[in-house]
Structure 1
Amino acid sequence: MSDHKVPHAAGSIHDLVRKATHSPAIMTKAETIRLAEHVLKSGEHATEEEQAIARRAALDPDGVNAAEIQLLGKRAAAKK
C-alpha cells in the first residue's frame, strides 16, 4: 500500500515552480501570489502577457486558470 500525502505549501521557489508546472490546479492562493510576485520581481525576459498574468494573479489568485499558472511556473523555471 502506498502512502498518499496531502499536497502541502511549497517551501522553496524551486518546489513552487515544480508544483506550478506539474499540478497548477491544486496551488493555493498564497502559492499563486508568491509565484506571481516572483515573476514580477525577477521579471527579466517575461513577456508582456506573462507580466499581465502575474499582476492579475497577485491581485486576484482566483482569477487565473491552471494554464496561466503553468505559464508563470515555466517562466520562473527559465530564470534559474
Structure 2
Amino acid sequence: MRPALDAELERTRKRGYAIDEQENSIGLRCYAVALPYVDPPVDAISVSITLARLSTQRELEVVDLLRQMRGRITRVVNPMGLGAY
C-alpha cells in the first residue's frame, strides 16, 4: 500500500496537480493545485467536474485555469504576509 501511495505522490509532483478520481463522489473528477506561499504547502485550490462533461481538452483547460488562479492568489497572499502561520 505505501509503495503505491509514494508512486502516486511522485506522479502528482511531476504533473504539478492532483487528481481525485471519483474518490469522494461517483461520476466526479477533482483537480487540485497546491498554493505555494509556505513550504511545504498546506493549502490548495480545486475544482470538480462531472465525467460526462470531461474531455482531454477540457482537463487541460481546467488545470490551466487552476494554475492561473494559483498565481493570482499567491500574488495577493504573499505581499500581505498571510502565508506565514
Query: TM exceeds 0.5?
Result: no
Give the TM bin, normalised by the shorter chain.
Answer: 0.3 to 0.5
State the TM-score, normalized to the length of structure 1.
0.34
Higher strand share: 2
| TM-score normalized with structure 2 length | 0.33
